[in-house]
Amino acid sequence: MEENKKQNETFNYTYSAKQQDEIKKIRERYLPENEDKMEQLRRLDASVTKKGTVVSLIIGIISSLVMGTGMCCAMLWEEYAIGIAVGVVGIIGVCLAYPIYSSITKKEKERIAPEIIRLTDELMK
């Protein structure tokens, strides 16, 4: 008797086709991504230069601001020696931005190369 009551108390509802599609789309966002090999290859290739670009941009921007501060010291405050010294430090930083980018990119290429070679071998078969 109690089992009949429990069966009668259950509620079943089926969603429409439109709602089913929406449910599937939401569910797909939370499932682990099944990235195909070509997308993975593109992502790895793009990641090689990303780290070097960010670091060199930060160094270049900060160095440009330091150089501008040196110019400001020399021109407005008439502190020529301090302004020239600060400006030279900024110029050195700007000049080092590209070699730092190249160095970081080279290291990233060496680190990621085996994975890229493996993926390209699989794709070319």
| pLDDT on residue 54 | 96
Condensed to tens digits (0 to 9), the pLDDT of residues 17-42 reads: 778 888 888 887 777 666 678 888 88
Judged against a pLDDT cut of 80, whether residue 120 lies above it is answered with yes
50-105 tens-digit pLDDT = 999 999 999 999 999 999 999 998 888 777 888 899 999 999 999 999 999 999 99
Domain residue limits, the chain: 46-125
| 34, containing H or E segment | none
Contact 91, 74 (CB under 8 A): no
Amino acid sitting at position 118: R
Contact 37, 117 (CB under 8 A): no
pLDDT confidence of residue 90: 96
For 31, list phi and psi in degrees, rounded to 5.
-80, 150
Amino acid at 88: V
